Structure 1
């Protein structure tokens, strides 16, 4: 079995974060401060996923490393696009980056010789606990970020209506 190094652990945890937070960012209708904060954390996690992939090379560079380079380029284009007010281009590159991550995950999870299937067979509890811990982190961060806090609620109540 391939070694589970610290780089692999960081890569896997960041990738899980990206995979779990992505649908919330894509499907949530409101584009507000919470979207920006969650999006910034998502982009930072993508940066970790892509950069850590270069520390995982059991057989040398592969097409997955090419996908990492392309994803980094897409992230830059998406960020520049939204700063210039081009929402459709931003959305397209962010959704594309997420779909690329799903593709890489599918490859990593479905090829029996890859680490994920091997870990599921040998250490299913470790995989389950890691998945639950990352899911809880995403859920807690999303709830704290999206839910209006007491100050915002009071401000909304005290404002005069239209």
Structure 2
């Protein structure tokens, strides 16, 4: 059984964050301040997932590491696309990066020798509490960002006559 190292914990929490925040970004209104702020959080998490994967190599370089490289390329292309004004290309690369993460999660979950199924069998409470904590964090983050993004700009006191 693999052990839950700090790198694996960071990787797993960031991946869960990516998986939970992804649908919010895909299905809510786009092109607003909240989308950009939430997107920056999502990009930070996905880069954390990809980079941390290179410190998790018990069997050497695998197709999952190749997927990490591809995901980093997709995220960079998506950011470049949106800066150039191509919403469609941005959307496709970001959704592709999300789907890649979802596929990696499925494979990490269904292979009995992987840490996720082992933890579900040996430490289910730890897994449940972690998932609930990350879900609560994502929920609060989304709520705070969307409420603040809608709030009107405060008027400076010296501007009030």
CA distance in structure 1 between the partners assigned to 2:150 and 2:28 by the alignment: 22
SS in 2 for 1:68: helix
The CA deviation string for residues 29-74 of structure 1, in whole angstroms up to 9 with x for no partner, is: 2320000000001001000000000000111110000000000000
What is the CA–CA distance in structure 2 between the aligned matches of 1:61 and 1:154, rounded to whole Å? 52
Quote the Cα distance in structure 2 between the aligned partners of 1:93 and 1:116.
27
1:48 and 1:76 map into 2 onto residues whose CA distance is 14
Matched pairs, number: 155
CA distance change for structure 1 residues 77 and 6 in 2, over 3 Å: closer, same or farther? same
Where 2:49 maps in the other structure, the secondary structure is helix
Larger deviation, residues 30-39 vs 115-124: 30-39
Structure 1 residue 154 displacement after superposition? 8.3
**TM-score (ref. length: structure 1):** 0.92
* Distance across 1 between alignment mates of 2:70 and 2:8: 20
- Equivalence for 2:13: 13
**Distance in 2 separating the partners of 1:153 and 1:14:** 32
Distance 2:147 2:107 in 1: 35
Structure 1 residues 109-137: Cα deviation after superposition (integer angstroms, max 9, x where no partner): 11111100000000000000100000000
- The Cα of 1:147 is off from its aligned counterpart by 1.7
The answer for the alignment partner of 2:126 in structure 1 is: 126
Any gaps of 5 or more consecutive residues in structure 2?
A: 156-161
Question: Secondary structure in 2 aligned to 1:147?
Answer: helix
3-state secondary structure, aligned to 1:37? helix
Tell me the alpha carbon deviations over residues 80-103 of structure 1, each in whole angstroms, 9 at most, x when there is no partner.
000000000000000000000000
TM alignment of 1:69-88, pairs within 5 A? 69-88=69-88
